[in-house]
A and B are shown apart, each in its own frame.
Chain A
Amino acid sequence: MNTPLIKTPKSDPGLFDYLPYDSRPKISWPSGARVALWIAPNIEFYEYAPPPNPQRKPWPRPLPDILSYATRDYGNRVGHQRMMRVMDKYGLRGSVSLSAATLIHHPEVIELAAARDWEFFSHGIYNTRYTYGLDEAQEREMIEESMALIKQHTGQHCDGYLAPALSHSESTIDLFAEAGGAYTCDLFHDDQPTPVHTRSGKRFVSVPYSLELNDTITYVVNKIEPRRYGQMIKDAFDRLYAEGEHSGTVMCVPLHAYQVSHPHRIRAFEEAMDYICSHAGVWKATGREIAQHYLKHSYDDALAAIAAVAKEDAA
């Protein structure tokens, strides 16, 4: 006898359905590529004197926490152009996870990215303003303002969202879909895109964004050595490339110029990109391109496969 499954909205938000990796419809990327590679540079602004949020301290030390602030500022002053140079060398366009206030503080950085035909998606207003404690109207205002700023300054429609500092509410994904978004980077459950349920019922997709290969997670949280980080990127690629022979996979490398562009770290990243880009069958894509291709060519197949799994469960 199986114990009846008790699923409450709090225990599982029901954002996506189970779809086992061994029984999925084939994903075909453009030109028969095996892996869709997307690089997601975070272009962020962290405030010198952010307002307090009861649920999260922006900085560990008493304000002014000049060490934390200056560490991030390094990315904008020194880092971005080093990162861009490596990406240019390998024909990689960034999909920018953008603190929208950077459009105003540092338009010079945005111009460098826009000149390279990079995508901009929303990462909130500042990375020191969290979603925690905002009511739905307030969070909607933050999301819509960030999207409007991107439109105003870059002419681009904002298709993607990564919540500021990964601070989420129960409404984040619904609100972004309702504001006209197409994909989220806030879910880390898969190596392929998946359909996401939203309360508006819009066709909306999760594009894989890797925390494990995120330079801040590897360097700050997991305290990985730079050369080992480079090797981890190569190893992840090898596996996703091999599996991509059967069905297209997604590889995301999220970056922060204040981490990856230090002189002792940039070489490891460059070598990893050199390795990956020496392979045929790599689709150098943006988050938007991956989302749109999937919505057009694979989304309905995935829904059918999910329905089949549900039928299997019911039998």
Chain B
Amino acid sequence: MSMDRSYLEYPMRRHGMDQDRYAWSMLADRAPVNWPQGKPLALWLNLSLEHFPLDARGEGFKAPGNMTMPYPDLRHYTLRDYGNRVGVFRVLDALKKHDLQASLAVNGELAQRYPALLRRLHATGFELLGHGWNMDSIHYGGLDPAREREWIERSLAALAPYASHPVRGWLSPARSQSENTPELLRAAGLDWCADWVNDELPYAFHTREGDLSIMPLSLELEDRFIVGDNLHAESDYADEIIDACDFLLDEARRTGHGRMLALNIHPWVMGQPHRIKHLERIFAHFATHTDAIWNAAPSEILAAAHPAKSPA
């Protein structure tokens, strides 16, 4: 049987995007972004601190990094928990050694389970981001909005005792959203989210509750993606990030438009003893360019970028 005739109808074929979430524009055509002190490159480092329940149901889909073996999959469960117990402290030490700051995306359930970890994270003074309830609470198309709202509120409430300022940013588990997520994030008082990977600078994103900003956080340069999914060597991971850093510095200097390098790092991946030195090599590379790199909290970078003034 052949396809229904409707398969050749295209109701959303029009100028611009085929949805109304944001305006179409090319990065190269936008007004220049200028970072503080005239530095060409803004650097946003984010650590994702996650709890993967042992009894993952995979509702919607299973987040990358989730349980794959028959219950009880202690193999994956404990390796993820290793990041919260050991790995994160190695990564924090490496940041401190090179005088770098990061933001911290923390699952609400992790904050509830490990107050001792959250107290230590709070002491860093780094910006906290909402990161969903846990890695088995996926915001997917079709999720009941009341349930989703409750997950978001519960996640933010769990972080509140450890946040010096109200939480403004969000990273969804597995970077997944339902059709209602942007409205619910805005309604929960958030200003921006990092789920969308279609750009390299902040841009405005429309919701029925008012605009959010999108802060692009590269997936293609994520440790879990490069080392875990693509199985590239640790040394290649470092080379890739160093190449990206050098390219963006060069492009920013050539065009006079500020650029942003945004890296998502999982302590359960890069906090391993055989990997940490490669992360340290990346940080050392950043440290050789302190005259050109502005390392800041994501909300500060967003404020400096003024996405509301750009055509997007």
Contact = CB atoms under 8 A, between A and B. Distances in A.
B105 to A, nearest CB: 16
B8 A138 contact: yes
A62 B240 contact: no
A223 B229 CA distance: 8
A138 B198 contact: no
Interface centre among A65, A109, A125, A262 (most CB of B within 10 A): A262
A108 B247 contact: no
Contacts of A266: 247
Interface stretch (A15-23, A114-122, A129-137, A180-188): A129-137
Contacts of B200: 78, 263
Given A67-B197, A73-B198, A223-B232, A142 B8 contact: yes
B15 A104 contact: yes
A138 B9 CA distance: 11
Interface in A245-274: 262-268
B198 A105 contact: no
Interface residues of B, number: 60
Q: Which of B29, B60, B220 counts the most chain A CB atoms within 10 A?
A: B220
B10 interface: yes
Contacts of B274: none
A166 interface: no
A62 B248 contact: no
Contacts of A265: 240, 243
B2 interface: yes
A225 B198 contact: no
A91 interface: no
B142 A105 contact: no
A171 interface: no
Contacts of B114: none
A237 interface: no
A266 B19 CA distance: 29
B3 A61 contact: no
4 closest A-B pairs by beta carbon, nearest first, are A135-B2, A73-B198, A264-B244, A70-B198
Interface of B: 1-3, 5-8, 10, 12-19, 24-29, 60-61, 140-142, 174-179, 195-200, 218-221, 229-233, 236, 239-241, 243-248, 251, 261
13 contacts: A51-B6, A67-B174, A71-B197, A81-B28, A101-B10, A105-B14, A125-B10, A134-B7, A223-B230, A225-B232, A262-B218, A264-B241, A265-B240
